Every structure is written in C-alpha cells, then in structure tokens.
Chains A and B, each alone.
Chain A
Amino acid sequence: MIKKLSLLLLLTISLSSLALSGCWSRREVENLAIVSTLGIDAENFQGTPKYRVTCNIYKLNQAGGGGGTSQTEGPAQISPVWQITALGDTLQDAFANISIRSPRDLFVGHVKLIVISRDLARQGIQEITDYFLRNQEIRLRTWMVVADGKAHDALRAIPDLEITISEQGAGIANRTRNSVSKYYTENLNQFISSLATEGEDPVLGRADLIKPTPPQVGSEKVTTAIAFRGIAAFSNDKFVGWLEDSETKGFLYIIGKSRRGVIPVSVGKGRPTVSLEMENAESQINPEIINGKLYTVVKIKAKGSIQEQGSSKELVSPQGMEELGRIFAKEIKELCLKSVKKAQHYKTDIFGFGAALHRKDPAQWRGVKDDWPEVFAEGQIDVEVEAQIIRSGQISERIKPVP
C-alpha cells in the first residue's frame, strides 16, 4: 500500500514538473516593451492620411533604478524612456511599424495616459476609442487628454518632477485635478459612456504645451513641459473647441462635479483681492421645452471659505460673510454662464442638458432630439446660485499694519 502510494506520488510530482516549465503563451517581463504613454497624431504622408503613434517605453533597467552615481551634465544623462514613433494606416498598423524596430513585444497594459493631438481630435476619435476598447490589454481607466498641438511633442515634454511623462501626466490628471478645478479630464470608460448617452457630449482634458521660463538649470535648450488647463469640448467624437480654466470651473459647477479650487473675487472695485476656496457643490438641472425652445434653470448650492483676504474691508463678520457669499454667488453664476455661452457657441451639450431632459420627459426629448445641437445653442439657460461662506481659515480679520 505504502509502496503504491509513493509510486503514485512520484508519478504526480514528475508529471507536474512538465507543467512547471512555463505557460503556453508566456510573456516574460524581460521580453516586454512596457509602454507608459501613447501619443496619437494624424499626419499626411505623401498625400495619404495616416496615424502617427508615439510610444514612451520604459527602459526597465533604468527607470527608477540606480541614480545619484553619475555626475554627468543633464543632457548626457540617459533617458529612462525610449521614445519611438511610427506611421500607419490604422492604429494597429502603426503599432506593427513600431514593433519592427523593437526587440521586445509591445505591451500596452500599463499605459496610464493617452495623448491625442488637436488635429486628430478634430477629425474624430471614434476609431481610436474603438481600438482601445477592443484591445484586451488597455484598461478602461486610462486617462485621455487632447494636446494643444502635437501629441508627439507632448510626449517629448520634460517630466519635471517624475521620472517619465506618463507619471507626470497621470498624476496631474488624477491627483491634482481635484484640488484646482482648472481642468477636468475623463478616462476611456467615462468618455465612451458619455459618447453613448443621448443628449450628452463628452469632454476631455486639455494638455497645454508650454515653454517653462526660465529653462531648466544647466540646459541651454528650450524645453517643453505640459500643463493641464481647461477642457476640450467634443461634439460627438469630434473636438470642437477649448474651454478655458475659468469656464471649466463653471462647467464643473453645472455638472455638480466641482471640487476644491480657488475663485478670486474683488470686493468693491478694483482688482480681485480675496481668494475664495470652492467646496463641493450640488447642482440641479431642470430642462423644459416650451414651443420648441429650451428653457433651463440650473440651481447650484455652493459653499466656500476665505483663503486670502487682501481687501481693506472687514469681511469676517456675519454681515461681511453674507456679502462675500453674495459676491461668491455672483462670481459662480458668471463662470457658469460663460461656460454655457461657450458651449452654445460650439453647439455641443457637454453639460448633458439633453440627457437630463431625456430622463425627465422622454416624449419631449423625442420631439427635439434630431436637431438638439441647434435647440441647445439657442436655449435660454439661466443659473441660480446660492452660496455661503463657511470658514475663514486660521485667522479672522486681517491683521492691520499699525504705523
């Protein structure tokens, strides 16, 4: 019995060693070219339109490792990413053209940021989103931004604080977004789901290419850096125009996704001297169609706190706070109306008024949905804001200099 059992055990062990040698379609990490950021441009090559795909690929033995030992000057330092770009008729074709120069298999499962160029976004990005959804490696949480310029250049920007531009960009898209509210961006899934919603147009973040001044210490070259500001408004899958940072705040207030951020206001006349901190706000959209025209009142309940008080007035009193609340409300209203006006100008319903109408009254929506962009553009949209200042920071009144 014991002998039989041990024989069986031996057989099991030796058989399982067959399976230990590896998997069928194994992909060892040293054979992968792990892509961190993707940039997609539209280009004309000898008269035919093509995609230009740019990949930032981690150099695995360099990214994050070592450091500190080399004393060489900035430019001579080896970059932790390998940037490679290629043209192709379709996206997959462009990837294939990248692969012919890559000794390792491209792996896009770790892409954190997809940068799309402005010109390509203008032509429509349906094809791109389809490709990324179909691909089983790309994650639905990947951030997408529209570069104000070429995606290729955006990927060449310097990652000031992080090691790669992917961390830099994804960090801005994800982390700092909620503390400034000057830009807003969506991930692949959010973009697709507003694309698929009737009466709602998607938005993406805007990656601005800037020349930081002064340039990096020790380098004479003028470099590019990316900054996120404002949003790119889409009409269906086509980019139609930007919203500036202040308009973005209005946009966020209307859709009820405003987070922290600062609104400078002026008390009385003159330049803005008081900084008010935005807190989470609620909004209610209640669209109606009367005689084929859209009427909406957006009701916003906002809260704020004083962060900076440079005006000569005494504001931290019940009356002062109340007055400040009124000024705050007026300012928010202006921001909102500005963003509405811009969106109406672009004829794109990024706020989802149409979707709100659809939810509220499907019958009315059916009547206007075919020419919704026009109905939206001519709609009468008003904003009512109720704002309250609830805190004043560590001190109450400002400290007056005594002569």
Chain B
Amino acid sequence: MVDEKISPAEFTGILVTTVLPTALLSVPAVAVGLAGRDAWMTEILASVFGLMVVFVSTMLSFRFPEKTIFQYTNDILGKYLGKLIGLAYLFFIIIGAAQIIRQFGAFIVISYLPRTPLLVSNIVLIMLAAYAVKSGFEVIARMNQFVLLIMLVSLAGIFLLVTNEFRHEHLLPVLENGVKPVLRGGLTPSAWKGEVFILMIFLPYLNQYKKARAAAVKSVIILSVIMFLDIVICLGVFGLQTAQFVFPVFSLAYYIEVAAFIERVEAVVLALWVSGVTIKVAIWYYAGVLGITQIFGLKNYKPVVFPLGLILGVLSLIVFDNSTEAARFFAHEFPPYAFTFEIIIPIGLLILAVIRKKNSFQQKGGKSK
C-alpha cells in the first residue's frame, strides 16, 4: 500500500527530527535537575539506549520489510491480540503528538506570547502539520531535509556565540555523588532518544530497507552529539541553575550578546524551532494517521487527517494541567511509560517472531504453517 519512497539520508533526517526539536528544549533541565554537574554523562547512557532501540526495532522490522508495526503485530500475535498491541502503539503515538504540541504551545506562551491562549498556537501548529500530512510522507521527508539543515546551523551558531561565557568550573567535580544520579538522570534522555522506535512505522517507506539500520544508527549519533553539546553548554553557561530554567536553550539564545551588535537573536531561534517542531508534529501525526488507517483497514489515509487533527487539538489542551505537571511527567513517569513501547514490547514481539518463525519472506514463498 505504500507507494511513497524516501532515501536513506531522508530516513536519517526524519529520525533526527522525530526526537530533536522538543528534546532540545526540555532535556537539559531534566537531566541537570536529576544528575547535577554530571548531566552530560546521561547522554552516553541515552545513546547506548538509542542504539539498543535501533537494533531491536530493525531486527523486528527486517522480518517484515513491507509492513509497519501496526500490520506485523497481526502476523506475529494473530488478529485480535495483534490489533490490541497496534492500538496501544496508536495510543502512545497520539498522546505523544499531543504532548509535543502542548509543549511547544507552552513554550510559545511562556516565552513569546504570554497573552495568547494556548489553543491558538496549538491550532496553528496542527493546521500546518495537517497540511504536511495531507501532502504525503515524501513531502514531509524532503521538507525536513531543508529545515533540519537550517536548524542545525542555527543551533551551531547559538552554541558558538555563547562559548565566551562558558565556564568549565560548572562541570567540576566529576561524579561527586557517584554514578547513581547519572543513571537516574539518564532515564529521561534515554526515553527521548528511544523515540527513534518510530522507524518501525516508517521502514516501509525507505527505498532500500536494508540501509535502515545504518541510517538509524547515524541519526542516533547525530542526536547524541547535539544533545551532548546542548547539555554541556547549558551547564557551562548557567551552572546548576539550568535545572530551574523551563527552556534552557532558549535562555541561552536570549543570553547571546557578541560585540554589542549580535544580540536578541531569539526571534530567529523561534522561527527555526517553529519549523522544526511543525515537522516533528507532522511526523507523529502521520504515524497516528497511518496507524488508524492500517488498524481499521481503510483504503485511503486522507479522510483520517482532519478528525485526528481535532482530537489532537483537544488532547493537547488536556494532556497536562500545567507546566510543572509536564516537567514532573517527563522526569518521572515518562521513562517507564516510553520504555514499554520503545523496547520492551518490541523485544517481546521479536522473541515471539523468532520462536514462531514469522516473517514476510516465508509467507511469500508459500505458507509454512
């Protein structure tokens, strides 16, 4: 059913954008809050976890290269249980999309437009994303290549422009309280990085599915480098108070002043982040739409786009009551919740698939059972 195809480079880009835009804003504060000066080490854990997720999900998906997780759960678990797991994933993705929209709406309201209702920024974001989803996955992937590049360049600009404020003393002493806080603090960044599990949904779009693993590994590496710099620089500039900032990277951009004329660049940052987050939402939105289409066996995904947009709009308003609840959720409840979908269920599915010898190739060559 998939007739759109993307290249491995675009696949890498999609996976980076799946994680980056909101992780960039939220992870430093959570990581520093839990792991203190050693927060940068949490990224090491997170990248190991990210690689684990990549290997498990590609191993699983390689058995069914033309199918998404919503489809091959049926092959592995049978019709009813398979649909149930598919619905669980759908739930995770729709709630995830609502959380992303909410987070970004909150960011806009707190930092730029304090008197604008949250609903307005959320609706604008959803409308843009809905347009992208309607245009198709190929369009999202191409657009992403363009936006991601600008985002990375502007990010590099921010990081470079604050280096003169960087104080390495903020990172010392190393491991003062042992590794425990680092392990604890690593959970949230890991859960975030684990969002690359979404490749189980988008693998059928890749034109050469065998290159998926390399592309995903590449995206995890890119993400790790960026997030590592993100945490280190926030920590070096702001010290332990990074934990108190709601959006440390934004404060970083706000803080830039070089040679008395490069200053107040946060408006540029906003423009780029809006485009990044729009694509992130579009990716999750598309995954949700695809899930609904496949689980319920619809022929065309387009009629689903608008209703799901409405659902997302409402959900994004009620998914968190306030910003502290969101921060608490990402620090405490999010990791176990996300791990379940990112690695535990895939491992279970993989084991079952291996035991029951399920894969697409077999089925093509005549049913073996």
Residues of A within 8 A of B (CB): 24-25, 133, 136, 139-141, 189, 192-193, 196-197, 355, 358-362
Contact = CB atoms under 8 A, between A and B. Distances in A.
A196 B240 contact: yes
B176 interface: yes
B115 A24 contact: yes
Contacts of A136: 110-112, 114
User: B interface, by DSSP: helix, strand, loop or mixed?
Assistant: helix
Contacts of B111: 136
A141 B240 contact: no
B239 interface: yes
25 contacts: A24-B113, A24-B120, A25-B114, A25-B115, A25-B116, A136-B111, A136-B114, A140-B254, A140-B255, A141-B255, A141-B257, A192-B241, A193-B170, A196-B239, A196-B240, A197-B169, A197-B170, A197-B239, A355-B169, A358-B173, A359-B172, A359-B173, A360-B173, A361-B173, A362-B173
Given A24-B113, A24-B115, A140-B254, A189 B238 contact: yes
B172 to A, nearest CB: 4
Nearest to A138: B254
Contacts of B251: 140
Contact of B255 (A189, A196, A197, A361): A189
Contact of B240 (A133, A189, A197, A359): A197
Given A189-B255, A193-B170, A359-B173, A24 B116 contact: yes
Contacts of A361: 173
Given A139-B254, A141-B255, A360-B173, 12 more contacts: A24-B113, A136-B110, A136-B112, A136-B114, A141-B257, A196-B239, A196-B240, A355-B169, A358-B172, A358-B173, A358-B176, A359-B169
A219 to B, nearest CB: 33
Contacts, number: 48
Nearest to A24: B116
B241 A196 contact: yes
B145 to A, nearest CB: 26
A359 B255 CA distance: 26
Nearest to B251: A140
Contact of B176 (A189, A192, A362): A362
Contacts of B173: 358-362
B213 to A, nearest CB: 42
Contacts of B172: 358-359
Top 8 A-B pairs, shortest CB-CB distance: A25-B115, A359-B172, A193-B239, A362-B176, A196-B241, A24-B116, A362-B173, A140-B255
A253 to B, nearest CB: 18
A353 B237 CA distance: 20
Nearest to B177: A362
A361 B115 CA distance: 49
Nearest to B176: A362
B40 to A, nearest CB: 16
Contacts of A196: 239-241
B346 to A, nearest CB: 40
A108 to B, nearest CB: 13
Interface string B138-170: 000000000000000000000000000101011
A50 to B, nearest CB: 26
A139 B172 CA distance: 27
Contacts of B112: 136
Nearest to B167: A193
A143 to B, nearest CB: 12
Contacts of B116: 24-25
Most chain-B Cβ atoms within 10 A of its Cβ — which of A355, A358, A359?
A359
